[in-house]
Amino acid sequence: MILSIESSCDDSAISITEIATNRLLFHKKISQELEHSIYGGVVPELAARLHAEALPKILEECEPYFEKLKAVAVTSSPGLAVTLIEGVTLAKAVSVGLDIPIIGVNHLIGHIYSLFIEKETIFPLTVLLVSGGHTQVMEVKSLTEIETVAKSMDDSFGESFDKVAKMMGLGYPGGPAIQNLAKEGARKRYDFTVPLLRTPKFAFSYSGLKNAVRLAVAEASEEDYKDIAASFEHIATKHLIHKLKKYFLNYPPKTFAIVGGASANLYLRSQIEELLKPYGAKLLLSDLHYCSDNAAMIGRVAVDMYKAKMFSSLEELNVVAKSNL
Ligand code: KG4
Ligand code: ZN
């Protein structure tokens, strides 16, 4: 079995995964959403302190598995440096204490592997990762062959939902709140410009849309918020669809996946389904439960890394806040 730790942002999570079967034997996550909500976003130092409290508590519950552990895995990049270090320090203590090897896992690969929790892997696939920290498209051939073909030049898709929600006083995280409000709104009422419409570059940008929404919110009354939310969600999604449609002209999809916290967005899911129809491409989605940060996905990567003997050295495993895939 492998014990895996995730603390890259505001979720403290630990899992136990069985190597031979990919079975998830234990998973517990303590989210800090309530604590950060009043600030409208994650406060790194507060998050680090909460991880320091939560992780050892969850680890205690894993004691019955200690004897059977073959390795300990931990998210070491990318993420908030001060929160990653909490997980990495604990993982190093487990590694020394139980005399087992340590595996440093990339959080973005974790999101890709959220598709394969308790399952076999399916490769090759084209992946759209939409989270709070990232918006990128990747061609994934295997655990070690991942090519990023497009990413955001500024804000991420999820982050733009968080910022728009903050403007409307809806708290953090903004994604679910905006999705809920948008259900009752008119998607065409606000004619926001689709980002990067005239640039041929395969890339994303959300800062312009965010600023357009800020102006609309400033002039609106609270009754208009649902229409702003619906129009924003529509254009934010249309931007992804527009860029993917162009990419597919040269690289038609066969198996496509959406992962990351914002892949829980139902409007995005339905629009991607429509986009894939003419290609007869298969759409892979993670369980709603495992879209946002969790340790089950880190454990699933760790199983494949263990089998490939991709261990880290205790001395050299460090946190890397920014990492390119
Ligand atoms: O993957 P994740 O848990 O953390 C990162 O790795 O960043 O993603 C969190 C992000 C937040 O920005 C949150 O607002 C967004 O995912 N999110 C959503 C939805 N649910 C979560 N965005 C849009 N629609 C949703 N339903
Ligand atoms: Zn994440």
* pLDDT tens figures, 101-149: 999 999 999 999 999 999 999 999 999 999 999 999 999 999 999 999 9
* H/E segment holding residue 196: none
Give pLDDT, residue 46. Answer: 97
Residue 324 has pLDDT above 80, yes or no: no
Confidence of residue 9 (pLDDT cuts 50, 70, 90): very high
Residue 312 lies in a domain: no
Q: What ligand has the least distance to the C-alpha of 133?
A: 1
Report CA-CA distances (Å) from 14 to 26, 58, 243.
Answer: 8, 7, 36
Residue 167 lies in a domain: yes
Residue 322 lies in a domain: no
How large a percentage of the chain has pLDDT more than 70?
A: 100
Q: Treating both helix axes as pointing N-terminal to C-terminal, what angle do 207-219 and 157-167 enclose, rounded to 10 degrees?
A: 20
Q: What ligand has the least distance to the C-alpha of 297?
A: 2
Task: Report which of 83, 192, 196 is spatially closest to residue 132, judged by C-alpha positions.
Answer: 83
Give pLDDT, residue 26. Answer: 98
Residue 150 has pLDDT above 90, yes or no: yes
Residue 323 lies in a domain: no
Pocket of ligand 1 (CB under 6 A): 9, 131-133, 158-159, 161-162, 173-176, 179, 260-262, 264-265, 292-293
Residue 153 has pLDDT above 90, yes or no: yes
Average the pLDDT over 73-78 and give the result: 98
Contact between 89 and 53 (Cβ < 8 Å): no
Considering the domain architecture, whether residues 143 and 261 belong to the same structural domain is answered as yes
The residue type found at 311 is: F
Give pLDDT, residue 69. Answer: 98
Considering the domain architecture, whether residues 79 and 191 belong to the same structural domain is answered as no
Task: Report which of 179, 211, 173 is spatially closest to residue 195, judged by C-alpha positions.
Answer: 211
Considering the domain architecture, whether residues 92 and 171 belong to the same structural domain is answered as no
Residue with tokens 């254009």: 235
Give pLDDT, residue 233. Answer: 98
* pLDDT tens figures, 305-323: 999 999 999 999 999 999 8
Considering the domain architecture, whether residues 266 and 298 belong to the same structural domain is answered as no
Considering the domain architecture, whether residues 196 and 295 belong to the same structural domain is answered as no
Give pLDDT, residue 192. Answer: 98
Considering the domain architecture, whether residues 131 and 280 belong to the same structural domain is answered as yes
Confidence of residue 17 (pLDDT cuts 50, 70, 90): very high
Residue 325 lies in a domain: no
Contact between 286 and 114 (Cβ < 8 Å): yes
Contact between 103 and 232 (Cβ < 8 Å): no
Cα(130) to ligand 2 centroid in Å equals 9
Residue 314 lies in a domain: no
Average the pLDDT over 185-201 and give the result: 97
14 is written with which tokens?
Answer: 């630990």
Considering the domain architecture, whether residues 131 and 265 belong to the same structural domain is answered as yes
Give pLDDT, residue 40. Answer: 86
CATH number at residue 111: 3.30.420.40
Residue 257 phi, psi (nearest 5): -135, 145
> DSSP letters of 242-258?
HHHHHHHHHS--SEEEE
Pocket residue to mutate for ligand 1, from 292, 294, 325, most atoms within 8 A of Cβ = 292
Q: Mean pLDDT in the chain?
A: 97
> DSSP letters of 34-75?
HHHHTTTS--HHHHHHHHHHHHHHHHHHTGGGGGG-SEEEEE
* pLDDT tens figures, 235-289: 999 999 999 999 999 999 999 999 999 999 999 999 999 999 999 999 999 999 9
Considering the domain architecture, whether residues 194 and 78 belong to the same structural domain is answered as no
Residue 45 lies in a domain: yes
Cα(132) to ligand 2 centroid in Å equals 7
Considering the domain architecture, whether residues 56 and 202 belong to the same structural domain is answered as no
Cα(14) to ligand 1 centroid in Å equals 19
Cα(278) to ligand 2 centroid in Å equals 30
Confidence of residue 23 (pLDDT cuts 50, 70, 90): very high
Give pLDDT, residue 323. Answer: 84
Considering the domain architecture, whether residues 20 and 101 belong to the same structural domain is answered as yes
Residue 321 lies in a domain: no
Considering the domain architecture, whether residues 144 and 108 belong to the same structural domain is answered as no
174 is written with which tokens?
Answer: 């903004």
Q: What ligand has the least distance to the C-alpha of 259?
A: 1
* H/E segment holding residue 27: strand 24-31
What is the total count of domains within the chain?
A: 2
Distance CA 250, CA 324 (A): 24
Average the pLDDT over 39-55 and give the result: 96
Considering the domain architecture, whether residues 303 and 263 belong to the same structural domain is answered as no
Cα(127) to ligand 1 centroid in Å equals 16
Q: Count CB-CB contacts under 10 A for residue 302.
A: 28
Domain hosting 108: range is: 2-116+290-307
Q: Treating both helix axes as pointing N-terminal to C-terminal, what angle do 174-182 and 225-250 enclose, rounded to 10 degrees?
A: 100
